[in-house]
Amino acid sequence: MNPSNRSLLRYAWLVVALLFPVALLNYLDRQMIAAMKVSVMKDVADIGSEANWGLMLGQFKWVYAFFSPIGGFLADRFSKRYTIAGSLFVWSLVTWWTGHVHSYQELLWARSLMGISEAFYIPAALALIADYHTANTRSRAVGLHQIGIYSGVITGSFAGYVADAPRLGWRWAFDFTGIAGILYALPLVWLLRDAPKTNSHGVPGASQHTSAGRSLFELLTNGSFILLVLYFTLPAMAGWVVRDWMPAILAKELNLKQGIAGVSAVVYWQGAAIFSAIGGGWLADRWVRRTERGRIYTSAMGMACIIPAMLGVGMVVSNVSANSLSMAVIFLIVFGIGWGLFDCNNMPILSQIVRPELRATGYGIMNLVSISCGGFADWGFGILRDRQVPLNVIFGVFASAAVVSIVLVLLIRPRRTEGQG
């Protein structure tokens, strides 16, 4: 490896390190409100019902989903660097404002604006990582970035303790994280650089940009891309419900305080996902050297773990016993193992079926479909809870969706979009 390539590889890993805290903040700001549900609903009295709470969670996702393809296209067309730094600055400002709302309508507006601003980050960040990392390191690099997300969710799960602390409270948590994000956005814009332009085979040269309409047409007429969108969507619905509702489920069904419920619902499965993403990234990067389907097989293994996890969690929380919390944690750990294997390979699989110039746009469309459905899942889950539908029935549906997902991902036909496959 010549000095120029070594320098580029070092910077490729620096990009992952620079984006790690951004990914952490991206999901910390989302997870906190789920962990502090009891305090927020008590303080903002006109929220009123579980359905309204679910609608608020869903509205964030619908707005986020709608703007994801727009953010992805702008990142592909202009600059991933400025898209990432600008997104962080704006959503951090909105996070700070969230700590100052006093009505349900204000909270809806704050979550909507946060959805708009955060929508620009993930497609741009994952595409930038994919631009810098070849097929030999891509799953590991994406996996390390996703660990930032898991770390943010874990940190956010402790927000229930912050909300219960008399000298702090839920508003202080939003103030602190908002200011932290604003301060980090300023140096980030100087430290990040857009990757050198390459053609569709990863060879340095002029990139092929197309209009929004042509980009959309190219993606939507790609059968493997459509399969990936569906595969990305079905398990994500379960993932959002686990993130957003599991703290409240454990608190109510197992009679726990919101602090311990938030930690139990998040820390174990997200911790498992951290180790799984590291191992899954390593496995996929090695497996893809033997077969182009290596990343697909690794991801399908993860989905196979999610099926028993969903069934198990549903049964445990529906039939409460002395060891219910321990059993719930075990099944959540299995869910985390599956999620890490799935999550670290979505952008790498996307990179095998679309041109580099369409990566952020493609991931934005994946977010559009996946998170829109996740919003309906959050809202629908609140309605089903109000109507007393058994939890084992609800989670059984999610397990069935994971079975379908395995079939979908195995139908994807990766192609060589880069010299290394």
**148-184 pLDDT tens trace:** 998 998 888 788 888 888 888 889 999 999 999 999 9
- Interacting residues of 400 by C-beta distance below 8 A, sequence separation 6+: none
> Residue 198's beta-bridge partner residues?
204
- Domain extents for the chain? 3-192+208-410
Which contacts (CB < 8 Å, 24+ apart) does range 211-216 have?
212/73, 215/73, 215/76, 215/358, 215/361, 216/361, 216/365
pTM: predicted TM-score of the whole model, two decimal places: 0.83
User: pLDDT tens across 122-131, in order?
Assistant: 999 999 999 9
Amino acid identity, position 34: A
Q: For the chain, which ranges sit under pLDDT 70?
A: 1-5, 197-210, 258, 416-421
CATH architecture of 3-192+208-410: Up-down Bundle (1.20)
- Mean pLDDT, the chain, as a whole number? 87
- HSE-up of residue 248 (Cα within 13 Å, Cβ side): 23
| pLDDT of the residue at 31 | 78
| pLDDT of the residue at 208 | 59
**Structural tokens at position 206:** 């002029």
